[in-house]
Amino acid sequence: MTACRSRPQPALGAAGLLTRCAGGLFGAGAEVLALAALAPLAAAVVGSFDSSASGSGYAYWWASPRGWESLGRTLAVAAAAGTIALALAWLLAASAAGLTPRWAAPAALAACLPMLVPSSLLAAAWIAALGREGTVAAFLRDSLGLRLNLYGIAGAAWVTALRYFGLAALLLCWSRLRREGGWPAARAARLPRWAAALHLGLRADARPALAAWLLVVLFSMNDHIIPGMLLVSTCGTQVLIQYSALLDPGGAAALAAPMAALGAGLAALAVGAGRTAWTDAPQAAAAGPPPRSLPARAACAACAAAVLALALAVPAAVLAARTESPAAVLAALADAREQAWRTVGVAAAAAALAAAGGAALAHRWAAGRRAGALTAAPAAILLLAAPPSLPGIGMITLFQHGPLAAARDTSWPLVLGLALRLLPVAMLLLYALWRREPAEGVLAARVHGVPAHLAAWRVVWPPRRAAVAAAALLAAILAATDLETAILLAPPGGSTLGVRLYTLIHTAPEAMTSALALGILLFTAPAVTALAALAALSRGRKAGRP
């Protein structure tokens, strides 16, 4: 699967034959994994042409206005969410950079926290805040006479934006951090403030901002939970896919396949738009951040705090206000003990698989990039760009017949489904960390005759283990808070915490739902803290180097 370009592979002698064989087997295994990971997507797409329940799925959805109207609503929500998210992210990035660059990364990472909780939790929290009987909505109505309606495209876009704006904040903060060393030249050139802001600020932000907008649109488009909970009578495409997936998998796949193609296109555009933002050499910040006055820094701090409070504190505070007592949280968790343990087990297994597979693919991708060789590893990104229900439908198809059918009613389909969905997340995280890793360290081991197994264990693995642990932890958090895959693939009687919350939202009193939602937040908190500690540890080690 690899095709060498002009830069040849390193040479090996006869004594390195074993190393070459092991390397070759590993490379071939990674290529097979990249292609095998796409099997559920392929199965779902093949199944979309065989829709027995509703005749031709493509004709049903796309030869009539229903599919196009649904797509229009989906895109409207996604585009609006992308725009709101971009505005919030830009505000946060500009404020954090105005404080000191040290705060930019933590602020952007904090903005990503809503992505680490179930989307149903976020929707429930915002319904509790701004729904018909919401705490904030009631206050605004009673004190200001202001009536808000969260149920509609605008409301869905708002909540979706608050879930995914961290992604945009991360990109914009990263882009700003990489060019923070450019300000002394602008000052020395006596550029007017407006010219510096326009040419060095806004214009430099344009491409990463476009990439961020496209990514948020992609993720919003593929989210069916929030629109499903807020659009009520005007369901979007993802909602329809999810609702019809179990009854008519072929028909649902016929609706989802074009969305997957659209998602892949958006992902490709995002990568193209943001390429310079993450491949350009960073400008050294020898002079440190630009000096700012105390009032300016205070204003920036207030602005950043306000954005983060809006995204994080409001939902948490409303859930806390709606919960009867701390004991209710513990009781809700105790009631969900069975689901909690199952969630932990499923998430741990899926995260281990995703991290191992992601590490193999990232290593293959990074090595291929250095050697100028093509690899199938990046194709795994399709699993992230496609609607999450599409690989889920594929897994149902694969476990329906053949040798896998015996495992159909076990947790394996769910574990594998989650692992596949999180495989590109782990791969992208690890690739981002490893792609600029110099090859000379490994080559030095080879030149000096260090045995291959020792080189792998003592030279390659130690600097990478923290990254793999972080990828596994991130995958575990995302797997534990997943809903889209679990709804489709959880075995009978084997629901997870996310599914239980989603069920309770529709059936139980709000106090009970809020208590469980808070419980899930507490459940996620230690893992997020560990992830932050791991990132800080890794950063601290790097900072110690010259």
User: Which residue ranges make up the site for another protein (CB under 8 A)?
Assistant: 5-17, 372, 438, 440-441, 443-451, 454, 458-459, 462-463, 544-546
Query: Residue type at 144?
Result: L
Does residue 249 contact residue 110 with C-beta atoms inside 8 Å?
no
Cβ 452 to another protein, closest distance in Å? 9
d(CA 319, CA 518): 7
Q: How many CB atoms lie within 10 A of CB 442?
A: 17
Cβ 21 to another protein, closest distance in Å? 13
Closest CB to another protein among residues 506, 545? 545
Cβ 437 to another protein, closest distance in Å? 11
Closest CB to another protein among residues 190, 545? 545
Closest CB to another protein among residues 287, 443? 443
Closest CB to another protein among residues 6, 233? 6
Cβ 430 to another protein, closest distance in Å? 17
Closest CB to another protein among residues 454, 536? 454
d(CA 119, CA 123): 6
Closest CB to another protein among residues 8, 509? 8
Cβ 530 to another protein, closest distance in Å? 21
Closest CB to another protein among residues 452, 532? 452
Query: Residue type at 78?
Result: A
The residue with tokens 């199952």 is 342
Q: How many CB atoms lie within 10 A of CB 133?
A: 9
Q: Is the dihedral of CA 439, 440, 446, 451 positive or negative?
A: negative
State both tokens at 217.
């649109």
Closest CB to another protein among residues 292, 464? 464
Cβ 23 to another protein, closest distance in Å? 14
Q: What is the DSSP letter of 373?
A: B
Biggest CA pair distance of the chain: 83
Distance of CA 467 to the CA centre of its chain: 17
Separation in Å, CA 237 to CA 67, 70, 318: 7, 5, 30
d(CA 118, CA 124): 10
d(CA 404, CA 157): 40
Cβ 526 to another protein, closest distance in Å? 27
State both tokens at 277.
């933002």
Cβ 464 to another protein, closest distance in Å? 10
